[in-house]
Structure 1
Amino acid sequence: MGRHSLPDDYATEGSGDGPPPRRRRTVAIATTLVLAVAAGTAVAVQGGLLSFSKSCEDSAVRLSMMASPDIAPAVRAVADKARKDHLKSDGRCLYVRVVARDSYKVADALSSGTRTPDYQIWLPDSDLWLDRAKGSGDGIPITPGDSVASSPVTLATVPSAAKSLGWPKKKYSWAELTAAAMDSDKVRLGAADPARSATGLLALSSIGASSEKQGGDSDTGVAATAKLLAQRMSDGDTQVLETLTQDDSGAEQGSPERNQAVLLSEQAAFTHNAESTDGGRLDLFYPKDGTPLLDYPYTLVNETRMSTSEGRAALRFMTLLNEPGAQTILKEHGFRNVDGTAGESVVASAGGRKPQPYATAAAAAPSAEALQQTLGMWTITVQSARLTTVVDASGSMATIVPGRDQSRMDVTKASLIQALNQFTPNDEIGLWEFATTLDGDKDYRKLMPTSRLGDPAKGGGTHRERLAAAFSALQPVPGGATGLYDTTLAAYKDAQATYVKGKFNAVVILTDGSNQDNRSISRSALVAELKRIADPERPVPLLAIAVGPEADREEVNEMAKVTGGGGYQVTDPAEIQAVILQAVMTAGQSNHAAQE
């Protein structure tokens, strides 16, 4: 949810003896820098340029690291020992300042790129934050390296709840375990916000994958789980621990505001148990279909702006963290080896016990696309969405998609219908289409009002069914051009006028080209007007998706950013479903953060 050595992975995916398959990412801690470590140091030593007599204070290379709060104490202990032992990089002492900071906060700051970081190294708890930090590619560049530790995601329970669920003998899949917790009168289940917690997101993704394997209406089941978790959601992993009942009194005597079970990492349970008396200790369930791992990827930040000495020192510290002495310190803090293996003492101290399958191979990490889908589902399930969907119906939408015997419009319709399945009956969605002179002098036409999907429709059926039929009926307008600007402004004003408080209000525009209406408002005037009317107290982000090679992502992004939204590009219309969910998640999280 180790990863990389330089320059290649430590093991080939799918090898029988290696760690479980994980999401691949390109590793690029600069080859030139690595070569410089070997060549440059040799030259410097031969030329007498490195002085080994200077005091450490005078010549030290000083680095700053932002580390996930759970691993920060262990890494700080390693850094302090390195300083005490006068660890050197190219003959200069290495001082690393370790600051604990939530991974989602660092990822969002890097993605925005609005401030130059004052740190050179980032150690998040999961590589899923790397994708978030990269965002649309406009933020601060990051360079992933080796993982330094791991910790499985589990379900932690107070003893009374563990007993009611049959711990330690009874084994569950993720889907079975959450269903048992939801159905039990003796277990109240809590979690950290998946938009802010890798543990929460990986657990929710695992629940979804497990439910899908069970068959049936898995989407509805996961949405129900998300709704339940949202009612007892905490901001982060530290806060979710604070929601646990303070004694082992059970549901009947304990406070109804307290949880008896929480989704938690093994390491967090280890730390909690080390600080608790017997009555406050936690027992851990390890789902039999595999637990995803937090993997702590060592990451360089803005590498090209680092000096050669800083780059070398950063690589030296990464190497140190994977050496036996540092790994011992990490294990003393409850972390597992990079490959997910652990000694009995770590597991027992965390609350694991046989026959719970704590030694089972970790589950394969979900793909970036799967995580985006889970986050999008979380956002729209928890908050409820109100979306005005605006679809390009210009003649170019009849263009055949390369590799498919379908037009852009046909593939777009199928993707929209698929995306519709991710929304709940409480979500509100409407539909507009646009092309030049589509409706008299107007470039747009409202096909379906923005209403609750579960509401009954005139003539029978539900609004969801009527909307799906309207999607299916969309057709390109022969000779119609792209009337983008006037349509965007009209749809945005309409969404503002019908704003519903408490929901995620947004306008989703899909277009396969740039504006082609010479009579319309100009782009600069449109951007200025959107900026003027955008209301932070009633946010309506514009989510603009450029479809196909002729579409201009820069154009749609310029329009969307002033509203708190963003522009996206897909080369294949089949990607629209995933991008809509990603866009909803990103905008929803940004607006939530802005309102705090």
Structure 2
Amino acid sequence: MGRHSLPDPPRAAASGPRPHARRRTVTVATALVLTIAGGTTAAVRGGLLSFGASCRDQAVRLDLAASPDIAPALKTAADRARDESITSDGRCLDIRVTARDSYEVADELRSGGKPEAQVWVPDSDVWVQRVTADAASTRLTRAGNVASSPVGIATTPSAAKSLGWPDRTYTWTDLAGATLQDDRLKLGAADPSRSATGLLALTRLTTATAAAKDGGTQAAALAKLLSQRTVDSDSQVLATLPRDDSGTERGNPKRNQALLLSEQSAYAHNASADGGERLRTFYPTDGAPRLDYPFTLVDEARLTTDESRAALRFMTLLDGKEERALLTDRGFRTEGGGASQALVTRAGGRAPQPYDDDPPEPDPATAVQEALGVWTITVQSARITTVVDASASMTEPVPGTDRTRMDVTKDSLLQALATFTPEDEIGLWEFATRLDGNRDYKVLEPTKRLGDRVGDSTQRDRLSAAFNSLEPVPGGATGLYDTTLAAYKEAVSSYAKDKFNALVVLTDGVNEDPDSISRSALVSALQETADRERPVPLIAIAVGPEADKDELEQFAEAAGGSGHQVSDPSQIQSVILKAITEAGSQS
């Protein structure tokens, strides 16, 4: 798990010396504590490992916010430390644990808020990454990990039997295919925008399907199907299962036969089944992502030395034999313990399901962000107008390839198009200078629903053809300002209620039309046009070194959007999905 610990002092309940293998984990946390203390000698003389009832007179009080699934175990450990007068620098530990959904704490921290807690244990590092990616967020310091739990698919017994459990194994692609092809297997999940379990599984599913032919379309279809069977949070998802497996609710369309679920959640559900039907768990053969419960200091700079040391002291206590037992008894895996057969069996796993495989490398942050972007536009449906620079500079080659900026841009846009569903509305403009009389822009395809039929083809077909037909205009300059304002006014005036509305502008240069409005006039006009009741964030993307990202950011922010820069046009799809996710989370 990557957790590090200090040696524990003798305790009455201890059963002999700790194995040598556990001692090798004494590294980073030790260094952190001793650095704060000013050295090993100071730590020892300061009473870091001392005991005594008198320590309660000046106990170190810390508030710890924890994911609801792990909070009870941490509370029991904190109560035990308090009852046994465990100390840091001669002062008792007084740790108060509060259960809070990880997404709620993350949202608070991203806004720069200062929660009461000095320590945060979310269920996954994806929340920490989301917070630390924003410069305006409250600062977080990772100190280690408390536990882990792999994420797979848990099913009712009848569904498991139809899927061949436990003898038949599946990849994420196989499981996605089973869901898409067989309407009888109703797959549910907690909202990936609020659940790390849902998001990690969705990332694996979309990444796996994206590699196949028409993968983007399949990924979008899977996300759309899943979105129809999600609930707000992890605490609600188990309630979507049938009340029993006798068939009395088998025809109820609101009930799920399979869930994206952590091993620990399946374990806890089965432990409370009281003789009833228990879930069966599939562990995908291409790797089950894991919840990793990072132990995180919140705004460490505001903590006193005593608070920092006490927090790390408590983290190292969680590596003790009794504390690890608290975690495993509740269905969590701990460092060095491997996959307990008893734990897996209670969670619904059984060989040959690959439950004891080493966890895969975590998905890159970009993959997680893309999956969340696909989810955002899938759940809400989107209305997006794309405005593409067709000036002569788009003929410039992309370094390291034999392709032009326009060639790679078209490919990236087509990949992005594949992630949208028939309910989404997408349009395309191109711009240079004087493309349509005195106008610097031309509407190639109006913004319409992709599933709409236009003659013998659909809007998706027509849009794909329009993307493919994009070509740089010989001698064309960059008419950026007038085009941006015209497209934004059109997007606001044609706003679609109950959809995610946005304008995407891609350019590889700066404004070159001497007859256009000025930058300051553009910013003012965008601010006047923006409407809180009809929000249309402007996503401006600078492609290549000649584009001015700072300029794009200035007028994008005036319209409630964001500016981005890519050195390679192939990155456009990722940037669009990331920007949509960010804008969607603020709407």
- What TM-score do the two structures reach when normalised by structure 1? 0.84
**Residues 1:464 and 2:463 aligned together:** no
Q: Give the deviation of 1:392 after TM superposition.
A: 3.0
Deviates more, 1:568-577 or 1:448-457: 448-457
Give a deviation string over 1:289-330, Cα, whole Å, max 9, x none. 332211112222323333333333333233233343322211
User: Within 2, Cα distance between the matches of 1:55 and 1:521?
Assistant: 74
**Residues 1:586 and 2:582 aligned together:** yes
User: In the superposition, relative to structure 1, how do residues 281 and 405 fare at CA in structure 2: closer, same or farther (>3 Å)?
Assistant: same
Deviates more, 1:477-486 or 1:340-349: 477-486
Q: Give the deviation of 1:388 after TM superposition.
A: 0.6
Tell me the SS of whatever aligns to 1:169. coil
Partner of 1:144: 142
Pick aligned residue for 1:246 from 224, 243, 247? 243
Partner of 2:385: 388
Give a deviation string over 1:468-513, Cα, whole Å, max 9, x none. 3433444455666554444333212211222223322111122344
Partner of 1:99: 98
Q: Give the deviation of 1:339 after TM superposition.
A: 6.4
User: Within 1, Cα distance between the matches of 2:48 and 2:124?
Assistant: 40
User: In the superposition, relative to structure 1, how do residues 456 and 436 fare at CA in structure 2: closer, same or farther (>3 Å)?
Assistant: same
Counterpart code for 1:127? D
Pick aligned residue for 2:272 from 275, 279, 282? 275
**Where has structure 1 moved over 6 Å in runs of 4 or more?**
28-32, 47-54
Pick aligned residue for 1:202 from 176, 200, 203? 200
Counterpart code for 1:173? T
Within a 5 Å distance, the mapping from 1:31-46 to structure 2 comes to: 36-37=35-36, 39-40=38-39, 42-43=41-42
Pick aligned residue for 2:422 from 422, 425, 443? 425
Q: Give the deviation of 1:212 after TM superposition.
A: 5.4
Within a 5 Å distance, the mapping from 1:342-421 to structure 2 comes to: 342-394=339-391, 396-421=393-418
Pick aligned residue for 2:291 from 291, 294, 307? 294
Partner of 2:166: 168
Deviates more, 1:318-327 or 1:30-39: 30-39
Within a 5 Å distance, the mapping from 1:380-529 to structure 2 comes to: 380-394=377-391, 396-435=393-432, 439=436, 441-457=438-454, 461-476=457-472, 482-515=478-511, 520-521=516-517, 523=519, 526-529=522-525
Partner of 1:68: 67
Within a 5 Å distance, the mapping from 1:184-203 to structure 2 comes to: 187-203=185-201
Partner of 1:89: 88
Q: Structure 1: which 5+ runs fail to align?
A: 7-27, 592-596
User: Within 1, Cα distance between the matches of 2:130 and 2:472?
Assistant: 35
User: In the superposition, relative to structure 1, how do residues 408 and 456 fare at CA in structure 2: closer, same or farther (>3 Å)?
Assistant: same
User: Within 2, Cα distance between the matches of 1:401 and 1:325?
Assistant: 59
Counterpart code for 2:552? V
Deviates more, 1:504-513 or 1:531-540: 531-540
Deviates more, 1:352-361 or 1:74-83: 352-361
Partner of 1:79: 78
User: In the superposition, relative to structure 1, how do residues 55 and 546 fare at CA in structure 2: closer, same or farther (>3 Å)?
Assistant: farther
Contact 1:4–1:146 under 8 Å retained in 2: yes
User: In the superposition, relative to structure 1, how do residues 406 and 118 fare at CA in structure 2: closer, same or farther (>3 Å)?
Assistant: farther
Give a deviation string over 1:211-260, Cα, whole Å, max 9, x none. 456x4443333333222221111111111111111222226656432223
**Aligned positions, number:** 566
User: Within 2, Cα distance between the matches of 1:390 and 1:431?
Assistant: 6
Contact 2:382–2:424 under 8 Å retained in 1: yes
Pick aligned residue for 1:573 from 565, 569, 579? 569
User: In the superposition, relative to structure 1, how do residues 179 and 468 fare at CA in structure 2: closer, same or farther (>3 Å)?
Assistant: closer
Within a 5 Å distance, the mapping from 1:289-328 to structure 2 comes to: 289-328=286-325
Contact 2:150–2:288 under 8 Å retained in 1: yes
User: Within 1, Cα distance between the matches of 2:104 and 2:46?
Assistant: 45
- What TM-score do the two structures reach when normalised by structure 2? 0.85
Give a deviation string over 1:434-490, Cα, whole Å, max 9, x none. 3455555544332321123344456x6543344334334444556665544443332
Cα RMSD after superposing both structures: 3.4
Partner of 1:17: none
Partner of 2:129: 131
Q: Give the deviation of 1:82 after TM superposition.
A: 2.0
User: Within 2, Cα distance between the matches of 1:280 and 1:50?
Assistant: 48
Counterpart code for 1:200? G
Tell me the SS of whatever aligns to 1:263. strand
Give a deviation string over 1:63-105, Cα, whole Å, max 9, x none. 3332222112212222222222223233333333322222222
Give a deviation string over 1:29-55, Cα, whole Å, max 9, x none. 999955523634634766999998894
